[in-house]
Amino acid sequence: MFSPCAETGLELSSNPRFRQPSHPPPPFQAFPKGAVLAQDLLKTSLYTTHLAMGARTVPFGGWDMPVQYSGVLAEINAVRTAVGIFDVSHMGRLYITGPKATEFLDWVLTGSAHSLAVGRARYCFICNETGGVIDDTIFYRLEQDRYLLIPNAGNRNTVVTWFQRWLAEKFPSGCEIGDRTMDTALIAVQGPQAAKLVDRLGRLSDGSPTSSLRPFSWGEGLLKGKKFFVGRTGYTGEDGFELVVPASNAVSVWEALVDGGALPCGLGARDVLRLEAGFPLHGHEIDEETSPIEAGLQRFVRFDKEYVGAQVLRQQREEGVQRTLVGLTISGRSAPREGYAILGEGRVQVEEVGRVTSGSYSPTLDTSIAMGYVLERYATPGQTLAIDIRGRVIQGEVVPLPFYTRAK
């Protein structure tokens, strides 16, 4: 999702003076082949609204997206204590429709489509033949033979190509993929006051309040008199909703949410929120070379059906993996950044036992946190490890994920 700006994507400043120093060398190439030119970046239907509201934007997954409005700390705080909104229209909206839609999704997803009831949603992975993660996704069962699937922004084209390949190979004319990313908007409304806010603005078609939706279910209704789709989903670790509206209605819905008290938030805040909640980000914790088993995400993987990558995943579950994703808390506020070495007591001396995949100061917990891969024998909670923060070796401890769980 972060490519092509893997490790630099969410810094505020375009001035190299205020970007990450080159020590240690970045783990991924920032701009693999030819930097993305500003005029080639896609813009969401809310783009001019963001600029008018003072947002600062950065290239992200091929889009020019808001990274912050009022300030990352204030935005994180709004989502944890009140309500914040995010334009996440850069993520894809793929509609999969046809008599073989369920069978097809069961083949390309690690989660089960056939056992998902109409009206419900599920988080899982799209894996390749070696169990690596092409993308992570939330998909909604709209009807018996119709689904909405949300891929990450930077992976949308890869996912569509991957799906087309398997459709042609295994399910010819079994279903169709409709990409509605460009003519719809996706707005996330997140935080403990999200339910109150969406209830004030609209109702579901049957007249019931929007907040009557259970987590990981969806509905349709009228918001400010306009039709909208709403899932009780999100990626911040808070209660919340994700709204799909026609692109032409996006600005009025956004403004209504702001008028209703929501704080506009950017991708900078979103990245810290998902990290605090222990959620992986594609291109960081998970990628085509990393399996959900290594990432400790087997709860989103079915082992009782056949699909792309299933054999490898089953084998990894039985035989174990060499390295595994852990959460680390680090004393102080200096943040481990992606690519930094994780150090442990080896048999002879202190040695590198892993690498950080994401790290940040966590304002919610008031300590620094990180996720990273370490050798299996260092992965037990309570294990003391250290992180080399640009030459300073700072003590840390393996902790169970997530770092943050909301009070229910």
Residues that bind another protein (CB under 8 A): 10-15, 17-21, 67-68, 71-74, 268, 271-272, 332-335, 337, 360-361, 363, 390
3-state secondary structure 271-283: HHHHHHCCCCCEC
The two tokens of residue 47 are 């783009």
DSSP 246: E
Least distance in angstroms from the C-beta of 335 to another protein: 6
In the complex with another protein, the residue whose CB is nearer, 290 or 362, is: 362
Q: How far apart are CA 323 and CA 277, in angstroms?
A: 21
Contact 150, 181 (CB under 8 A): no
Q: How far apart are CA 228 and CA 325, in angstroms?
A: 38
Q: How far apart are CA 292 and CA 285, in angstroms?
A: 9
Triad 47, 49, 52: Cα angle to 5° = 115
Least distance in angstroms from the C-beta of 336 to another protein: 11
In the complex with another protein, the residue whose CB is nearer, 49 or 368, is: 368
In the complex with another protein, the residue whose CB is nearer, 72 or 188, is: 72
Least distance in angstroms from the C-beta of 15 to another protein: 6
The two tokens of residue 266 are 């950017």
Contact 288, 134 (CB under 8 A): yes
In the complex with another protein, the residue whose CB is nearer, 17 or 299, is: 17
Least distance in angstroms from the C-beta of 77 to another protein: 11
Least distance in angstroms from the C-beta of 367 to another protein: 11
In the complex with another protein, the residue whose CB is nearer, 174 or 363, is: 363
Least distance in angstroms from the C-beta of 366 to another protein: 10
Least distance in angstroms from the C-beta of 368 to another protein: 8
Q: By C-alpha distance, which of 229, 235, 240 is closest to 262?
A: 240
In the complex with another protein, the residue whose CB is nearer, 377 or 392, is: 392
Triad 398, 122, 319: Cα angle to 5° = 50
- Is the dihedral angle over the CA atoms 218, 222, 226, 227 positive or is it negative? positive
Q: How far apart are CA 357 and CA 233, in angstroms?
A: 24
Q: How many CB atoms lie within 10 A of CB 142?
A: 19
In the complex with another protein, the residue whose CB is nearer, 377 or 390, is: 390
